[in-house]
Structures are given as C-alpha cells and as structure tokens.
Structure 1
Amino acid sequence: MRWSLVGGATLCVALAACSTTGRKAIVTVPVTQPTGWRATATDDDQSRIDGLAGRWQRMLAAVPARLRARVAAQGKLLDPTAGLDAPTLSPGSYQCRLVRVGGRGGVTSYKPDFCYVAASGGKRSFTKQTGTQLPGGWLFDDADGKRVIFLGTLRPRQAEIAPAYGESPQRDVAAVIERFAPFRWRMVFARNDGQGDHTLEIYELTPVVNGSS
C-alpha cells in the first residue's frame, strides 16, 4: 500500500524582489498532508477519480441514438447525478451486475456475480468472489459524504491473493461507490480500459437476501 511521504512542515519560498531595506521578503506556505483515500491512492488513480464525472458524461454522450433505449432501461444506475447520502456498504454478500457503457454494444449488461464486503479492525474491504475479473481492496469514506472510494488490485484467477495496491500499477484499480436507490449501490471504475478509454464499467450492487450466496 502506497503512503504519502509529504511531511507537515511549512515550505519557505524566498522572493527575488528586495524591500527598500535591502532584505529579502520570506513567505511561508503551509504544505497540507493528504488524508483519507488520497493518502493511499497513486497520483494516476487520484487523477482518474477526479476526472471520472467528465468521463462518465462523455461515455453516455457517445452512445448512438439507436441504442439510447438501453441507457434508459438501466434507470438511475447510469445517471451520474443520482448519488444519495449514506453511501456506506454494510458488511455482507452482494450481487454485483456489470454494465459496460461504450464499445459496439453501446450499453451491455452481464449476468450478476457475487461480491463480499467485510469489516475488521475499523477497516472495510471489498472482494469480488466470482467472474472473470476479481478486484479486491479497501474502502475509504470520502469527505463529501456521498461516496466511498475503492482502492485495490485485480487478482489473477489462479492466484490466492492479489498484489498489494501500489506495487503493481498494471493491476491497480480504483472506483467510486455511491448509493443511488434504497438498498442499491453502484461501483464505477475509474481506470483505463486499455482501448483508449472507450468503455466505462459500472457494477450494480444489491444485498443478497439472508447474506447467503
């Protein structure tokens, strides 16, 4: 896991201009240490998360008119403005249905897989248990109170564990989680799709009844 090494000390900047007394003016600029998810996220993932709203809008705008009905069929799941308060996921099992925006299909929905949210020692983790892509990592509350940030890695199907976040950039993944309806969340991945950012992956998360899968 990547941690920021920036200290909390102040940065002193000497100005080139001199006062009438011949002394150099000194200005002190406080250096703020990142907190929360930004203290862990790589610079690339911070940029992707910050730019996610704009990318989301571009992906929806690029869907051909003949396929817009597929966007409407997903309801608020694909509405970038539908995020609600209280986004925290309770521990337990979830069905996670992938919807991919972009590409030839415009909007493509896949069969649900299973995911699990665990809580231990004051931390929360997210693990996708079935399917071809298996992201797993930690959940961080965001300061705005309307989203949770996921930072993790993609685990190879043949491996028991995935590399730690920040150690293998090609496997790092980041996502924004929001609640958009009662007992329904979405997990929007902010990562390069390897095809010039032509697709956007969104998981619909629905609690499994009785917590069993």
Structure 2
Amino acid sequence: MRWSLMGTVALSVVLAGCSTGPKAVVSVAAGAPVEQPTGWRATATSDDQRRIDDLTGRMQRMLAALPATMRARVAAQGMLLNPTAGLDAPTLSPGSYQCRLVRVGGRRGVVSYKSDFCYIAMVDGKQSFTKQTGTQLPGGWLFDDDSGKRLIFLGTLRPQQAPSAPPYGEVRQRDVAAVIERIAPFRWRMALVKNDGQGDQTLDIYELIPVVNGSS
C-alpha cells in the first residue's frame, strides 16, 4: 500500500492497521503472560523506539559538542533548542502550520532554514501530519505518549519528485520518527530521531507555529 501527500485521505490507508487499544497479553509456555507493546510502541521499529527514548540525551550531547562560537546561534533559538523545554498539553489543533527547520551538528554547527508549510488533519479520529512544501516531505500519524508531554510521529519520507511513499515500517530507509513537544504558547518543536543520510552527525528540529487566517 502506498500513500500520496497530496491529500490526507490517503494517509488513513498507511497506518490503518495500527492499534492503540487496551494492552494485549500473550501466554508463554512455562512462563507468566508477557505484555505486548501498545500505542506507538506497537508500531515503531525497535531502532526507532531506542532513538525516541534517547532523544533528550542525544540533544544534550550534540549541543554540548558544539564549539563556543555557536553559543549565540543556540541562544537565538530560545526554547527550541532546550532539551528539557517540553510542556504539558502537547496536542496540536488541526490546520496549517509554518514549519521551520533548524539543523544541529555537522560542519555548520547550527543552521536555520526558511519556513515551509505543514498540515495537521483528523482522519477517522486520528491525527495525521503532512509536510506540504520543501525538498523532503515526511508524512504519517501522531500518537499519544504515556508521559503526557509529547506526541510521537511515525511516518515515511517522500522526496519532492516522488508521487508517493511506502507506509511506515516497509522500507527502513524511508522511515521517519519524531518527538513533538509544546515549548511555548502556540509553538511546538518536532525533533526527528534519525536524519536521513546523515546518521547521528546531525539533528533536525522543526519549529511548528500555527498559520493565522489571512496570513501568507
């Protein structure tokens, strides 16, 4: 099954089989029942689960490794680059958002790019995320997290030239996972746990700000 980012309806097909219902248990011979993962952990690959759990530590390590000359650039981003800035009530309202990429690490240290547009939609009672403009276009589903301070994004990356992308978990190279946190009133960050093609050398963080009606 494949999905196109031209519409949010197709996103309902991508992870239609995902379940966030009550915990299931499976009996193990000669042993106690073993709880099976639920929510986002029931969908996420083991590698992405590990990266999500380590995100705060990774941000701290990468910021600490930056040269002193980058301190002003880090400070200019405010709470966006504060690893522990997550607040309660992380849910995003449906609608359009400006999504500005800030890349930490690599040869340039801290780089801010021009804003693109993203869209949050409700599809069959679940929230979808789609990046609509730019060269890299992640799209997928948002999941609640037990912490109450973050959402988990699981989706896939569609290059600008490609008409569609496979569902999450089908092609590992296309998988995208991220942690979304509210860091201020009407301001969120979406930190990708794996940067395509760069490994752990860089960390991509999107700033999400709602588009006010009538603004461009």
User: TM over 0.5: same fold?
Assistant: yes
2:141 alignment partner, one of 135, 138, 141 = 138
Contact 1:173 1:191 in 2 (8 A): yes
What amino acid is the match of 1:183? F
- 1:73–1:85 CA distance, 2 compared to 1 (3 A): same
Map Cα deviations across residues 20-66 of structure 1 (whole Å, 9 max, x no partner). Answer: xxxxxxxx322001110001111111111111111111110111001
1:210 alignment partner, one of 207, 210, 213 = 213
- Output the aligned Cα RMSD: 1.9
Q: What is residue 50 of structure 2 aligned with on the other side?
A: 47
- 1:192–1:183 CA distance, 2 compared to 1 (3 A): closer
TM-score by length of 2: 0.86
Question: Helix, strand or coil for the counterpart of 1:111?
Answer: strand
- 1:140–1:196 CA distance, 2 compared to 1 (3 A): closer
- 1:43–1:212 CA distance, 2 compared to 1 (3 A): farther
Q: What is residue 114 of structure 2 aligned with on the other side?
A: 111
What amino acid is the match of 1:9? V
What amino acid is the match of 1:49? I
- 1:7–1:108 CA distance, 2 compared to 1 (3 A): same
What amino acid is the match of 2:25? G
Q: What is residue 174 of structure 1 aligned with on the other side?
A: 177
Map Cα deviations across residues 90-137 of structure 1 (whole Å, 9 max, x no partner). Answer: 100000000001112211000000000000211110000001110000
Structure 2, unpaired ranges of 5+: 1-14
- TM-superposed CA distance for 1:9, in Å, is 2.4
Contact 1:11 1:30 in 2 (8 A): yes
Question: Helix, strand or coil for the counterpart of 1:70?
Answer: helix
Structure 1, unpaired ranges of 5+: 14-27
2:155 alignment partner, one of 132, 152, 169 = 152
Q: Distance in 2 between matches of 1:211 and 1:152?
A: 30
Tell me which structure has the larger Cα radius of gyration: 1
- 1:212–1:152 CA distance, 2 compared to 1 (3 A): farther
Q: What is residue 76 of structure 1 aligned with on the other side?
A: 79
- For 1:51-130, what aligned pairs fall within 5 Å after superposition? 51-130=54-133
After alignment, is 188-197 or 171-180 more displaced?
Answer: 188-197
Contact 2:56 2:84 in 1 (8 A): no
Aligned residues: 198
TM-score by length of 1: 0.87
Quote the sequence identity (%): 75
What amino acid is the match of 1:135? P
Contact 1:76 1:180 in 2 (8 A): yes
What amino acid is the match of 2:28? L
Contact 2:190 2:206 in 1 (8 A): yes
Moved over 6 A (4+): none
